[in-house]
Amino acid sequence: MERLKKLIDRISGKNRMNDIKYVTKLYKRSQLEVLALFLVIVAIVGGNYSYLVFKLKMTTDHIYTQKANEIAQKHLDEPAGFGNFDLMTIGLYSEWLQKEDKYFKLYKFGEYDDELKEMDEIGAMSDAYETETGAGFVAFRLFTPSAVKSVKKHIKELEKYDTLIIDLRDNTGGMLTSAEQMAEIFLDRGMTVYTKETRGKSVTVKTKKAASLKPQKIIILQNEWTASAAELFIMALKENLDNVTTVGVKSYGKGLGQNEYRLTGGYAFKLTAMRLLTPSGSCVDGKGIEPDIEYTKDDIISFADSL
């Protein structure tokens, strides 16, 4: 009798509304559970974002492959916990890493943004004037977007000089992309600026358009603090053009490139992620660039002008 009643109810649709209510209730509950799970995942990842980024980049981008993997396995595999990331872990690792990678740097509380701002201000301080013999003189303190913008703004003025003296003394490099853009001003389309070797791949950077400046003679001043992107700029011109003469003393010798990564709370870090090669495939790291004409006196600009 009971079975017959259930069958009649099912046929008549009396239980159908109950079934719909049950399914709706189950659906809403599952939505809440999924949302709760999502919030937990966000909290875990968000609280440990810096830890995850730092570990990922150290074990995938850092050029010192074996050392990075060894130390990451030893020091970065411990659980980070469910709260905010403990920056002391990065700090302790950074202290060890600086012994292996002298260019590694950990930025705290907005220091990275301050450094970028300062670099661009220094890059904008480039000097430009006409020498006593009628040559053009340009001094680049750092390769930054502002330096490139300044030169491009004065292309028409610089075109009139048959000889251009470029002062790179005390230029410690700056931004690799800005040095590349500056080299493009002097090099024709399809010329190699540099090659970067990262973990697992090699990328050759070539110019994409015709040169904007083609002086008959280029004289580059360098000293022991001419480094990194400035050295790549020198070699890009020297190995692609036959009218470049370098004057001064041997340059610093930095052929390694760094990548910067932002963390939470205004933190960031910079690590060595690439080996930089000149157009001919050589690397100046630890070697520097020997000048074509060695000159150590203070009147080096006048000397270059006499050439």
Q: Is residue 280 part of a domain?
A: yes
Q: With 70 as the cut, is the pLDDT of residue 175 above it? A: yes
Q: Which residues are catalytic?
A: 228, 254
247 phi and psi angles, rounded to 5 deg: -135, 135
Please check whether residues 118 and 236 belong to one and the same domain.
yes
The residue-averaged pLDDT of 167-194 equals 95
Please check whether residues 227 and 273 belong to one and the same domain.
yes
Does residue 152 contact residue 185 with C-beta atoms inside 8 Å? yes
Q: With 50 as the cut, is the pLDDT of residue 42 above it? A: no
Please check whether residues 90 and 119 belong to one and the same domain.
no
Please check whether residues 125 and 161 belong to one and the same domain.
yes
Query: Which tops the pLDDT comparison, 287 or 113?
Result: 287
For 274, counting Cβ atoms within 10 Å of its Cβ (0-12 exposed, 13-18 middle, 19+ buried), the class is buried
Please check whether residues 96 and 127 belong to one and the same domain.
no
Please check whether residues 265 and 149 belong to one and the same domain.
yes
Q: Is residue 43 part of a domain?
A: no
Please check whether residues 77 and 121 belong to one and the same domain.
no
* pLDDT tens-digit series, residues 44-90: 444 456 666 776 676 677 776 555 556 555 555 544 333 334 455 56
Please check whether residues 82 and 150 belong to one and the same domain.
no
Q: What is the pTM of this model?
A: 0.75
Torsion sign over Cα 138, 205, 195, 63 = positive
Please check whether residues 207 and 160 belong to one and the same domain.
yes
User: The tokens of 62 are what?
Assistant: 């850092």
The residue-averaged pLDDT of 265-276 equals 85
Nearest residue to 226 via CA among 266, 253, 192, 203: 253
Range of the domain at 60: 48-102
